Structure 1
Amino acid sequence: MIQVPGDMTEMRVMIEQLKDLGKETNEDELIDQAVEDNAQAMLDEALEGHYYSAKLKDNLITIYDVLNEPVGTIKPMETGFSQDFRENSDGLWLYMATELKRILGGR
């Protein structure tokens, strides 16, 4: 089973897998979760561990430090992360990696 979809093809597979398990799905909610999960995975990789957290709320990803203080935000490339994911997931991940480097600076 796909844990964290990286593009719409994987998202469609995940939705079908969830349907086969009898679980209700909402594509927009699953995309939001995928964006947040991918941001967290990139953050964990950049910091070599789970020290900071990425949270998606109100179409803005906020990065929190170990004290749960916000240290930066990432806005969508276009009108929203859901649209970015649907139209250009590869571009979204490159953009997000660049934004995370900006936020983390020398950390």
Structure 2
Amino acid sequence: GSLVPRYPSELIEASLEGVLLFIIMVFASRSVKVRNNVGMLTGLFILGYGVARTTGEFFREPDWFLGFLPFGFTMGQALSIPMIFVGGGLLFWASKKNGATETFKTNHLI
């Protein structure tokens, strides 16, 4: 153990990845529009977790055996960036796919 005081990054991570993301998901799941769009909740969770993890990594000390990666990233941030893109892509796909379905239904009901 070291006598150097450390910032309790676990509290930040628990607050962002646990409490905040849970609250966002509860409110999003109550929306009928979001629930009816297949993939919307999954994309929101993946995007939210990636953003929360990337933010939480700013308060952590990097792994002792890796240190900082190029451009000042930590390994947690490097692994979270693809999650942000996948979550955003899934949200985009879900909104386009289901928007096209609604247009199709509307046009063929007449």
Between Structure 1 and Structure 2, the one with more helix by share is: 2
Between Structure 1 and Structure 2, the one with more strand by share is: 1
Instruction: Tell me the TM-score normalised to structure 1 length.
Output: 0.30
Larger radius of gyration: 2
